């Protein structure tokens, strides 16, 4: 059975929501049905494109990768990330969100921002497009904030985050990603909202969790954020396999007679 927006919302207070990122049909197909939703995140700018941050990726690239993921997915909900600079005002945001729906099979889009994005979320939702919010540590704001800063460390910041979460819910967001928020604050936000929260580095009490696939499975080794748990040493396994392949070719062990026409 295919996961929908309604499916995710019904899981709140009933069952934890699971999510992972993917950027192509190959991994989309592997993850399909194993998690509730797959995010085609702008994290591909770093893990796929080799850039320093998420700002370099454009809306055309996000739509291209989202379309590719959708081609490999039948069961999990696919959510496409709105890239930096693609939702600066209501008109632009609606235009690009509509492109996601017209050019891909994504079930929803995601965008970053709190109070300053609430009116934009409302405008997109009014066009019949499902929106996932994102507050706390927002990678698209990292350069302007001088780095990746944990949120909710003091009362002022905590109160602001709660207010923004309620604003996004009121604007029509069907769920909100809580990234890099102190776990006590994320717990309070989760309890006060009627919609699901998806945590990344924000503690166990969020309604669900998401990780970047290359972080979780050990393919990205430049650094490991505190919130990442490695479930596989993928890069090392692949290096061992490629060495075995190269050796088989050089020693004429591959291809065998059975592997030749």
Q: What gap in Å lies between CA 188 and CA 162, rounded to an integer?
A: 8
Pairing relationship of beta strands 175-179 and 131-136 according to DSSP bridges: parallel
Q: Report how far apart, in Å, the C-alpha atoms of 21 and of each of 163, 208, 217 are.
A: 28, 14, 11
Instruction: Quickly count: other Cβ atoms within 10 Å of residue 59's Cβ.
Output: 22
Q: Which of 112, 164, 179, 188 is catalytic?
A: 179
Q: Which of 198, 202, 239 is nearest to 221 (CA)?
A: 239
Which residues of the chain form beta strands (DSSP E)? 17-21, 37-40, 77-81, 108-110, 131-136, 175-179, 197-200, 208-211
- Asked if 163 is an active-site residue, the reply is no
Q: What gap in Å lies between CA 39 and CA 119, rounded to an integer?
A: 23
What would the two tokens of residue 120 be?
Answer: 């934009």
Active site residues: 179
């Amino acid at each position: 059975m295919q996961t929908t927006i309604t499916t995710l919302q019904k899981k709140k207070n009933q069952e934890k929501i699971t999510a992972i990122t993917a950027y192509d049909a190959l991994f989309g197909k592997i993850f399909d049905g194993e998690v509730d939703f797959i995010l085609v995140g702008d994290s591909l700018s770093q893990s796929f494109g080799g850039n320093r941050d998420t700002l370099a990726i454009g809306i055309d690239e996000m739509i291209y990768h989202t379309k590719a993921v959708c081609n490999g997915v039948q069961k999990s909900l696919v959510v496409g990330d709105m890239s930096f600079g693609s939702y600066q005002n209501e008109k632009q945001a609606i235009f690009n969100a509509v492109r996601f729906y017209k050019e891909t099979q994504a079930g929803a889009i995601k965008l970053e921002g709190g109070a300053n994005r609430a009116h934009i979320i409302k405008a997109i939702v009014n066009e019949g497009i499902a929106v996932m919010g994102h507050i706390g540590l927002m990678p698209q704001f990292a350069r302007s904030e001088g780095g990746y800063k944990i949120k909710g460390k003091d009362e002022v910041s905590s109160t602001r985050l709660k207010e923004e979460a309620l604003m996004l819910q009121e604007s029509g967001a069907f769920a909100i990603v809580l990234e890099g928020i102190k776990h006590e604050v994320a717990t309070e936000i989760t309890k006060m909202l009627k919609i699901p929260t998806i945590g990344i580095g924000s503690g166990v009490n969020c309604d669900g969790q998401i990780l970047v696939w290359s972080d979780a499975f050990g393919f990205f080794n430049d650094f490991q954020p505190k919130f990442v748990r490695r479930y596989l040493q993928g890069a090392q396994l692949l290096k061992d396999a490629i060495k075995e392949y190269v050796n088989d070719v050089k020693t004429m062990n591959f291809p065998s007679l059975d592997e030749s026409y």
